[in-house]
Chains A and B, each alone.
Chain A
């Protein structure tokens, strides 16, 4: 009876991951790393956006409308990065049953949806003066719109059940199925004839963009990534505290305190 069943303990990396499942430990650690992440995000994004808005050169064809790129491209990157994070959290929940993974998925989805909405609206604001239309059913735009609906579907689905665990599970399955949309977004400009240009930055070749435009774009994207992480971490801290409040309140009701 007194022996510990070691076979049920998570092994290797999983055990390391489960160390942070302790709410107190997570809150202490996240409380320490959140302020520097937020500060780095504000500094990098501010430098990148101010540089892009006022100091980067304008485009010979698009003129100053090209400056929309410094908010549109980071938002597009974060829309996909956010969904990938959502899928990772969902996989952690389904495979390893990590207690924080469900909460992380719930908190990632609204932030990802917000950045996807920014990407769609700024794309529309860029498209109107350049293409002459607010919206076209271009493969890249349509696949990003599908991504936005996947986020909204996840947000609605996790809240659609009386039993939160069933909602988390349904949301996790939707998130994993929706991952198929990420390569479609990435390669849509190569698979179909679209109004979007092919990627200017690739892993295998040199960027096709001038360094005077690439640097502010990289800083804005890096700052945005830190900002996304800070927002999710802050929301996750709140969610962990709210779950603890619910558990303690229920315990007090049950004991009649």
Chain B
């Protein structure tokens, strides 16, 4: 495959950014769900 470093960098960067956004959103939601359950046990947020 020609131009491999450029191709690998493009795909690697895209994957890294999307994973970072996805894991960040998932962690933020989990933290908020746990905290909300502590404050308002009646609230069902699933």
Contact = CB atoms under 8 A, between A and B. Distances in A.
Contacts of B46: 28, 31
Given A27-B45, A241-B32, A71 B39 contact: no
Interface stretch (A8-16, A62-70, A98-106): A62-70
Interface string A57-86: 010000111011001100100000000000
Interface in A162-184: none
Contacts of A71: 10-11, 14
Contact of A31 (B3, B10, B11, B45): B45
A245 B14 contact: no
Chain B contact surface mostly: helix
A241 B36 contact: yes
Contacts of B9: 125
A237 interface: yes
Interface residues of A, number: 40
A232 B2 CA distance: 36
A244 B25 contact: no
A244 B42 CA distance: 13
B4 to A, nearest CB: 7
A245 B36 contact: yes
Nearest to A72: B10
A127 B37 CA distance: 50
Given A68-B6, A125-B6, A227 B18 contact: yes
A235 interface: yes
A237 B10 contact: no
Contact of B40 (A53, A58, A111, A244): A244
A49 B11 CA distance: 9
A124 to B, nearest CB: 9
Interface of A: 24, 27-28, 31, 49, 53, 58, 63-65, 67-68, 71-72, 75, 110-111, 114, 117-118, 121-122, 125-126, 128-129, 227, 230-231, 234-235, 237-238, 241-242, 244-245, 248-249, 252
- Cβ-closest 7 pairs across A and B: A241-B32, A234-B25, A65-B3, A238-B28, A63-B2, A122-B10, A238-B29
